[in-house]
Amino acid sequence: MLPRIVLAAALGLCALRADAGEVRVAVAANFTAPLKEIAALFQADTGHTVQASYGATGKFYAQIRNGAPYDVLLAADDATPARMAAEGLAQGPSRFTYAVGKLVLWSRAPGTVDARGEVLNGSFGKLAIANPRLAPYGAAAQETLQKLGLWNRVQGRIVMGENISQTLQFADSGAADLAFVAMSQTFRDGKPVGGSVWVVPQTLYAPIRQDAVLLARPQDQAAAVAFMKYLKSAKAVRVIRRFGYGLP
């Protein structure tokens, strides 16, 4: 009996693999590490593969308008997917919030950033933020500095990254002393992974609701729909929470 069960399971797995497809995902840079884990789980469970590109949401929007071949967008905001749905670039009913992002101020040097962010009122060299016109985390950083009354004061010290990954690189390489980045880049399982960090109070910036949306003409509809469904699964949610994101 046992060999027959094993054979049936193997045949089922072969059938699953035969139907496997590929989903092309444009991913907001802040979600790089979680997506890599989720993609591996998704492939193991479904046989579908994920071809991911990472970058700034604003750039992806421009690329998709110009015909870039993506199937799914995992944005760093909710406004861009809504706009794309309104413009016929995405399937509006598919849109949902897959994560709620959190902003932190980070330095690679331990003891530099205090628990209340008072370092921003002191002496430092350069402050890295993502381009607010392209990256929602950059917009959140700008809003935070404005609410703190510091935006005009720090203008001459800002180094602007194209996306949140480049922003972190500026601080990690020493090109900037401080950086406003995503919590997911600096925390694992609720704890900082290095350096020093201030978790910015969410009262200082608008909620960073990150929406996923299925684009208007996916290459492999079945694989793309399966991926969107998988993002809501218990396995994916566990990964998302481990990296410090909230859920709606």
pLDDT in tens, 2-29: 455 544 444 454 444 557 899 999 999 9
Q: What is the pLDDT of residue 48?
A: 98
Residues of the chain with pLDDT under 70: 1-18
* Model pLDDT, residue 86: 98
What's the pLDDT at 17? 55
Count, residues in the chain = 248
pLDDT at 134: 87
Tokens matching residue 195: 């350096």
What b/e readout covers 70-81, taking b as 16+ CB neighbours within 10 angstroms? bbbbbbbbbebb
Angstrom distance (rounded) from CA 190 to CA 210? 20
Q: Tell me the whole-structure pTM to 2 decimals.
A: 0.84
Instruction: Decide if 246 contacts 100 (C-beta within 8 A).
Output: yes
Closest CA to 19 of 46, 44, 45: 46
State how far the Cα of 214 lies from the Cα of 72, in Å rounded to an integer: 5
Following DSSP, what letter does each residue of 81-141 receive, concatenated?
A: HHHHHHTTSEEEEEEEEEEEE-EEEEESSTTSS-TT-GGGGS--S-EEEE-TTT-HHHHHH
- For residue 208, give the DSSP letter: E
Q: List the domains of the chain with CATH numbers.
A: 2-100+208-242 (3.40.190.10), 103-199 (3.40.190.10)
The pLDDT of residue 199 is 96
pLDDT at 6: 45
**Tokens (6 digits) for 130:** 């993502």
At 94, list the tokens: 């598919």
Instruction: Tell me the angle at which helices 164-173 and 136-147 cross, rounded to the nearest 10 degrees.
Output: 70
